[in-house]
């Protein structure tokens, strides 16, 4: 693996060997001059590989370890004193609450020390926004928390992972990145993890926050911010240090001719709350409204989001409007809210 070309296994091994020597030398020479950045690796496309250098869809995610990722980018030593930890090594569709809680707790511990200026999480892009949102709500620190991934595997021609990783570490080491909450870095763009979402299944420029925009961008390897540090209005924080699990919250997708039995099945299967991906402004069929109202009266919160991918879902008579949160992020917020309260008005206040 090199920053210029990710191709054959033989070239990959040779490049890693050379990069390892360069990285070791760089850390010895520069460690005292650079802030500490810890990388938490979870797998994903950025750690993916394929037998073909042109394969960008049928590769194996999470097949390269954290040390190989670091060794492939010796330039990391020019911006930070980097250490790495392998939290998981899988496709991001397999990320579960156990991994999320372990990650949040580890990051909180690391950022509480003077040795760590910021952290980077390498992650598959499919659910990267969910992990980023979870960390934005559960990490108690003004230090940089940076999510990064790739849309092309490490073995592909013009793989985007190495440069994305370098930019992520650069951002985590930058003093100007403090006080901005968790961030997502891909394709030279810096976005708020609270709002940014994946908008395209396979294209490089997939991560966007259409209404809220980007926080900044990278120019010749340096972060350029458009605004002074700020965080989303009324963003809550949740302490998960003593938690071993999270309340079960399911997402139900609304559509024409929807069978209300899907909603009932989620409750019967143990859901403590439900998010509905409604049409438009969180709209749901009339046949579903009595079930939503009854669930709310029974103390089971129902949040109505939108399947459109963008926009504000306003307050609802039946259920709770999700505000600016898409279904997958509303699910995380509802689950975290239920760790603190079962008061329906309090739960509603987190969204509306």
27 three-state secondary structure: helix
Q: What distance in Å separates the CA atoms of residue 27 and residue 70, rounded to the nearest whole number?
A: 12
Q: What are phi and psi of 336, to 5 degrees?
A: -65, -40
HEC states along 242-254? CCCCCCCEEEEEC
Q: What distance in Å separates the CA atoms of residue 310 and residue 325, rounded to the nearest whole number?
A: 8
Q: Partners of 191 in the beta sheet?
A: 184
CB 263 within 8 A of CB 291: yes
H/E stretch holding 304 reads: strand 302-306
Q: What distance in Å separates the CA atoms of residue 302 and residue 160, rounded to the nearest whole number?
A: 39
> To 5 degrees, how large is the angle CA 55–CA 122–CA 226?
105
> To 5 degrees, how large is the angle CA 163–CA 168–CA 174?
125
Catalytic sites, residue numbers: 45, 125
């Amino acid at each position: 693996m090199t920053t210029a070309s990710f191709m054959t296994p033989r070239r990959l091994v040779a490049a890693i060997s050379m990069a390892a020597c360069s990285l070791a030398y760089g850390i010895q020479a520069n460690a005292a001059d650079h802030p500490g950045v810890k990388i938490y690796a979870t797998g994903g496309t950025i750690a993916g590989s394929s037998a073909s250098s042109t394969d960008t869809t049928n590769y194996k995610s999470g097949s390269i370890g954290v040390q190989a990722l670091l060794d492939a980018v010796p330039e990391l030593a020019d911006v930070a004193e980097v250490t790495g930890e392998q939290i998981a090594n899988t496709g991001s569709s397999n990320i579960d609450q156990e991994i999320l809680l372990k990650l949040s707790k580890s990051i909180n511990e690391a950022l509480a020390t003077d040795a760590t200026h910021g952290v980077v999480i390498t992650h598959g892009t499919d659910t990267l926004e969910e992990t980023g949102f979870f960390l934005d709500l559960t990490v108690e620190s003004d230090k940089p928390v940076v999510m990064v991934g790739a849309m092309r595997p490490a073995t592909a021609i013009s793989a985007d992972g190495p440069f994305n990783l370098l930019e992520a570490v650069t951002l985590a080491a930058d003093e100007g990145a403090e006080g901005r909450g968790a961030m997502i870095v891909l394709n030279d763009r810096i976005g708020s993890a609270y709002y940014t979402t994946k908008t395209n299944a396979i294209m490089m420029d997939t991560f966007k926050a259409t209404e809220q925009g980007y926080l900044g961008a990278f120019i010749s390897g340096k972060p350029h911010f458009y605004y002074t540090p700020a965080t989303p209005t009324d963003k809550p924080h949740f302490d998960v240090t003593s938690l071993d699990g999270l309340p079960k919250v399911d997402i139900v997708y609304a559509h024409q001719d929807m069978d209300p039995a899907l909603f009932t099945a989620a409750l019967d299967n143990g859901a403590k709350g439900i998010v509905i991906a409604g049409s438009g402004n969180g709209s749901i069929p009339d046949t579903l409204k009595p079930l939503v109202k009854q669930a709310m009266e029974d103390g089971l919160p129902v949040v109505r989001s939108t399947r459109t991918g963008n926009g504000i879902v306003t307050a609802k008579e039946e259920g709770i409007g999700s505000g600016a949160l898409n279904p997958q992020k509303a699910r995380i917020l509802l689950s975290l809210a239920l760790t603190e309260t079962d008061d329906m008005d309090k739960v509603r206040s987190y969204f509306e």
